[in-house]
């Protein structure tokens, strides 16, 4: 099996190494990832600018690895041309921050998967809580990958996997067939300040929604309750 790995946190993010380590158990792994942080890019493509491609010395024995000064979707699109043959799967992540609820609309991790399925390649997205490490993801990712590869997926479908944080021994289990919460996990708001030149500047900060607003059976409820959330997304173009 040939697997193309991308992410939106950048080529040097620890999450992409964690995903590559798990993927190597299933076949030949190639990596094409953004040269910089690209969170919130969704399926944005670089149209009017050139992108620099660099071969990188990846810390695992992958078949090849590059950084691209572009977006996650760019990495998939170009990666399909760089590889010696068509990949059987695109894996995206492991993202530093959950991708569930309505926040998936903004996600570069999910955007990379959308680009994959638009090109006829099945895709799986992996995410973990922001700033909490990848202990549970690394412990359970191989088993989750094996299960999802056996299940397969229909045209345009994307598996979306979110791991909770904490000690793997405290994991409450895996919840499958999670629906997308009909709300955002991260509620954003803007704060204003005047800079030294007197300009009005705005920046966004976020906080988690309350658990009771997530809705039982949803992806957001699963991760907030300490479970691995597994669900399917459908690319709206297919």
**Domains of the chain: residue spans and CATH:** 2-177+216-234 (3.40.1210.10)
Give the residue, 208 or 84, on which the prediction is more confident: 84
What is the tens place of the pLDDT at every residue in 55-100?
999 999 999 999 999 999 999 999 999 999 999 999 999 999 999 9
Long-range (24+ apart) CB contacts under 8 A made by 59-64 are: 59/17, 60/17, 60/20, 60/21, 60/24, 60/29, 61/24, 62/5, 62/20, 62/24, 62/29, 62/30, 62/31, 63/28, 63/29, 63/30, 64/30, 64/31
Would you state the pLDDT for residue 235? 67
How far apart, in whole angstroms, are the C-alpha atoms of residue 105 and residue 82? 27
Question: Token match 């964690």: residue?
Answer: 18
Would you state the pLDDT for residue 136? 96
What is the tens place of the pLDDT at every residue in 127-170?
999 999 899 999 999 999 999 999 999 989 999 999 998 889 88
Is residue 227 within 8 Å of 174, Cβ to Cβ? Answer: yes
Tell me what the mean pLDDT of segment 24-43 comes to. Answer: 96
Is residue 26 within 8 Å of 145, Cβ to Cβ? Answer: yes
pLDDT band at 115, cuts 50/70/90? very high
pLDDT of 208 > 80? The answer is no
Which range is most confident: 83-87, 200-204, 206-210? Answer: 83-87
Would you state the pLDDT for residue 238? 60
Would you state the pLDDT for residue 206? 77
The model carries a pTM of 0.94
Would you state the pLDDT for residue 85? 96
Would you state the pLDDT for residue 212? 79
What is the tens place of the pLDDT at every residue in 213-223?
888 999 999 99
Would you state the pLDDT for residue 218? 95
CA angle 2, 147, 77 (to 5 degrees): 35
What is the tens place of the pLDDT at every residue in 104-113?
999 999 999 9
Tell me what the mean pLDDT of segment 8-37 comes to. Answer: 97
Among residues of the chain, what percentage have pLDDT more than 90? 83
**Tokens (6 digits) for 115:** 């680009």
């Amino acid at each position: 099996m040939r697997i193309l790995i991308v992410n939106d946190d950048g080529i040097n993010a620890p999450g992409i190494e964690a995903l590559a380590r798990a993927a190597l158990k299933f076949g030949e792994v190639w990596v094409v990832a953004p040269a910089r942080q690209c969170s919130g890019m969704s399926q944005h493509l670089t149209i009017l600018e050139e992108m620099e491609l660099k071969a990188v010395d990846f810390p695992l024995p992958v078949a090849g690895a590059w950084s691209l000064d572009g977006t996650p979707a760019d990495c998939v699109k170009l990666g399909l041309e760089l590889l010696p043959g068509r990949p059987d799967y695109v894996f995206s992540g492991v993202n530093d921050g959950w991708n569930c609820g309505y926040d998936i609309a903004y996600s570069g991790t999910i955007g990379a998967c959308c680009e994959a399925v638009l090109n006829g390649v099945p895709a799986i997205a992996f995410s973990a809580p922001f700033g909490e490490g990848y202990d549970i993801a690394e412990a359970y990712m191989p088993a989750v990958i094996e299960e999802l590869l056996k299940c397969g997926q229909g045209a345009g479908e994307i598996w979306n996997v979110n791991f909770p944080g904490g000690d793997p021994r405290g994991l409450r289990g895996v919840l499958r067939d999670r629906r997308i919460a009909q709300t955002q996990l991260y509620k954003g708001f803007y704060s204003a300040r005047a800079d030294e030149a007197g300009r009005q500047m705005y920046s966004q900060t976020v906080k988690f929604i309350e658990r009771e607003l997530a809705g039982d059976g949803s992806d957001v409820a699963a991760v907030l309750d300490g479970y691995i959330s597994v669900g399917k997304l459908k690319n709206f173009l297919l």
